[in-house]
């Protein structure tokens, strides 16, 4: 009976651990911090740690996020992402931050973050936001946001932000990963390297092959 009880407890413990791993995003840290260092000779899931005794306050610091970024581009937007590549102290902490600047009627186009949920707050502008749920529902959730409003984009789902005001816009986003990743739908599909076969995209998007080839040329030269 005692032996069976131990086995039962061990099974429960293993299942509990598996459950925690299933719901985890970035791995939890096993120490106070793990300041990232780059080693081009090795690849790991994350970053190697510097000796914690060599860490300084600058490893956890980034200046000037209050400064507006240029939006002089075809989309009229600019994303400043502070992930582990910009703040080494974010390594293993499971968070990052982004500032998005919008020109009047500027767009942050449909994209996904494969490794992070995003929570966004509007500081300036009137921002039309939305995300699309997964197949088969493909439901569109949208909201018009004003300064002080907050909206959440679930991990991995296609979403966008569009400044519908004739003034500039600014938002800030928290993301649940030190490296949330970015897939811009149009850029990835039509601007892949090497290009996806036009025959595949023609059938998938039900567009004329000449249109597909034009889009591939357009996005491949601008990504």
CB 131 within 8 Å of CB 108: no
How far apart are the C-alpha atoms of 211 and 217, rounded to whole Å?
10
Is 159 one of the annotated binding-site residues?
A: yes
What distance lies between CA 177 and its chain's CA centroid? 8
Pick from 157, 220, 155, 221: nearest CA to 189: 220
Tokens 């106070």 correspond to what residue? 32
Phi, psi of 173 (to 5 degrees): -130, 135
The annotation status of 113 as a binding-site residue, yes or no, is yes
Contact 114, 86 (CB under 8 A): no
7 assigned binding-site residue: no
- CA separation for the pair 215, 208 (Å, rounded): 11
What is residue 169's three-state secondary structure? strand
Residue whose C-alpha is closest to residue 190's, from 159, 217, 156, 165 = 217
Residues 6+ apart with CB under 8 A from 59: 35, 50, 87, 88, 89
**Half-sphere exposure for 165 (CA within 13 Å, toward CB):** 18
Binding residues: 108, 111, 113, 118, 159
Binding residues for Mn(2+): 111, 113, 118, 159
Binding residues for oxalate: 108, 113, 118
């Amino acid at each position: 009976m005692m032996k069976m009880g131990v086995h039962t407890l061990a099974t429960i413990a293993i299942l509990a651990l598996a459950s925690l791993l299933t719901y985890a995003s970035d791995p939890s840290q096993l120490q106070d911090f793990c300041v990232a260092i780059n080693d081009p000779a090795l690849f790991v899931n994350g970053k190697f740690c510097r000796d914690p005794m060599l860490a300084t306050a600058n490893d956890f610091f980034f200046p000037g996020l209050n400064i507006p970024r240029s939006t002089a581009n075809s989309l009229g937007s600019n994303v400043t992402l502070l992930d582990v590549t910009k703040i080494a102290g974010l390594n293993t902490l499971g968070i990052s931050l982004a500032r998005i600047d919008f020109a009047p009627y500027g767009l942050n186009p449909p994209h996904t973050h494969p490794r992070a949920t995003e929570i966004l707050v509007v500081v300036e502008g009137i921002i039309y936001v939305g995300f699309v749920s997964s197949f088969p529902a493909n439901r569109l959730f949208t909201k018009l946001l004003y300064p002080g409003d907050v909206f959440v984009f679930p991990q991995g789902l296609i979403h966008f932000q569009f400044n519908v005001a004739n003034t500039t816009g600014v938002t800030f986003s928290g993301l649940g990963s030190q490296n949330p990743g970015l897939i811009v739908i149009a850029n990835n599909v039509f601007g892949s390297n090497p290009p996806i076969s036009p025959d595949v995209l023609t059938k998938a998007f039900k567009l004329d092959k000449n249109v597909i080839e034009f889009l591939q040329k357009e996005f491949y030269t601008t990504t």
